[in-house]
């Protein structure tokens, strides 16, 4: 995994600011709206997108009066960027169904999918340490926010979706590390995660678990109380059942909370 992907010698990345690389050099992709057009086309994964669909994705419900000219301008600009890089693979064409980008793919998204799939396979096989290593490699592909700096309703929705996917993977990775007895190493990372997502309950649950396993039961109970107050103030509700159940188990010092799972040995390559 890594290196040049499916884009015939030109590599595209979206896990951060949109970037295109050809022959090890970064390709100049033009102004922000042109880059937004390219990002939307990359996310179609070779499927055509209609003119109306492209306008909605880039400008939303209130496109400028001269939007047709702008679409033609940015499509031509994308083609020129490919040509100036000397990249023969990517091709942006008009079909009966709309604009279609072929010979190009968001390589880092594909690599991330492959790494996460491999991590899940390792986790299901009980190879928790290997699963964590693969998840770390997937996390290392991120260079910032998804399609950072680009606007439009389509990319805004995709950015939220990928933000959720990223934190879900991070939570799963840390949960696996706690399960194999590495609680102490992740306490500070979990404190930062809770601060960044104060109303998200899963990081609080992991933090409470890690604190309890490192002999800090009073801090674990305090983390619950702080989360309870935040949730009550922001939403007028109580924490969910998973968090309340863990709180009750810590109060009664459930010995099963201290159980660890030995990581399965990694087979020789």
Alpha-carbon span 180 to 263, nearest angstrom: 6
**Facing residues of 12 across strands?**
20, 106
Q: Which of 42, 34, 33, 46 is nearest to 13 (CA)?
A: 42
Record the pTM: 0.83
Alpha-carbon span 246 to 178, nearest angstrom: 15
CB atoms within 10 A of CB 111: 19
Alpha-carbon span 120 to 131, nearest angstrom: 7
The 3-class SS string of the chain reads CCCCCCCCCEEEECCCCCEEEECCEECCCCCHHHHHHHHHHHHCCCCCECHHHHHHHHHCCCCCCCHHHHHHHHHHHHHHHHHHCCCCCCEEEEECCEEEEECCCEHHHHHHHHHHHHHHHHHHCCCHHHHHHHHHHHHHCCCCCCCCCCCCHHHHHHHHHHHHHHHHHHHHHHHHHHHCCCHHHHHHHHHHHHHHCCCCHHHHHHHHHHHHHCCCHHHHHHHHHHHHHHHHHHHCCCCCHHHHHHHHHHHCCCHHHHCCCCCCCCCCC
Are the CB atoms for 155 and 139 separated by under 8 Å?
no
Alpha-carbon span 178 to 175, nearest angstrom: 5
Q: How many CA atoms lie within 13 A of 251 on its CB side?
A: 9
Instruction: Name, in order, each residue with C-beta under 8 angstroms of 65's C-beta and a sequence gap of 6 or more.
Output: none
Backbone angles phi, psi at 68, to 5 degrees: -60, -40
Q: Mind listing the pLDDT tens digit of every residue in the chain (269 residues)?
A: 444 344 447 899 999 999 999 988 999 999 999 999 999 999 999 999 999 999 999 999 999 999 999 999 999 999 999 988 776 779 999 998 999 999 999 999 999 999 999 999 988 888 888 888 899 899 999 999 999 999 999 999 999 999 999 999 899 889 888 888 888 888 999 999 999 999 999 999 999 999 999 999 999 999 999 999 999 999 999 999 999 999 999 999 998 888 776 554 444 43
Per-residue pLDDT, 269: 35
Residue span(s) of the chain under CATH 1.25.40.10 come to: 180-269
Interval 135-161: pLDDT, tens: 989 999 999 999 999 999 999 999 999
Q: Name the CATH topology of 180-269.
A: 1.25.40
1-166 belongs to which CATH class? mainly alpha
Per-residue pLDDT, 267: 44
Per-residue pLDDT, 92: 95
End-to-end distance of the chain based on CA atoms, in angstroms?
16
Per-residue pLDDT, 87: 65
Per-residue pLDDT, 263: 53
Are the CB atoms for 58 and 73 separated by under 8 Å?
no
Residue span(s) of the chain under CATH 1.10.10.10 come to: 1-166
Q: Which of 81, 261, 56 is nearest to 179 (CA)?
A: 261
């Amino acid at each position: 995994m890594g290196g040049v992907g499916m884009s015939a010698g030109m590599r595209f990345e979206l896990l951060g600011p949109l970037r295109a690389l050809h022959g090890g050099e970064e390709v100049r992709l033009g102004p922000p709206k042109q880059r937004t057009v390219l990002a939307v086309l990359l996310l179609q994964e070779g499927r055509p997108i209609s003119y109306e669909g492209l306008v909605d994705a880039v400008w939303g419900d209130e496109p400028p009066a001269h939007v047709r000219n702008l679409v033609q301008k940015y499509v031509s600009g994308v083609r020129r960027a490919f040509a100036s890089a000397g990249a023969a693979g990517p091709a942006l064409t008009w079909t009966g169904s709309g604009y279609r980008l072929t010979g190009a793919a968001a390589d880092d998204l594909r690599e991330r999918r492959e790494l996460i799939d491999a991590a899940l396979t390792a986790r299901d096989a009980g190879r928790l340490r290997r699963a964590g290593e693969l998840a770390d490699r997937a996390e290392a592909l991120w260079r910032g926010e998804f399609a950072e700096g680009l606007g439009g309703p389509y990319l805004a929705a995709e950015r939220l979706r990928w933000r959720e996917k990223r934190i879900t993977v991070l939570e799963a990775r840390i949960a696996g590390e706690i399960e194999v007895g590495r609680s102490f190493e992740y306490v500070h990372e979990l404190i930062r995660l809770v601060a960044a997502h104060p109303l998200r309950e899963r990081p609080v649950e992991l933090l409470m678990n890690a604190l309890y396993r490192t002999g800090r039961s009073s801090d674990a109970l305090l983390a619950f109380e702080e989360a309870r107050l935040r949730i009550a103030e922001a939403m007028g509700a109580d924490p969910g059942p998973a968090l309340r159940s863990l709180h009750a188990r810590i109060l009664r010092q459930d010995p099963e909370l201290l159980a660890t799972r030995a990581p399965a040995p990694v087979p020789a390559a």
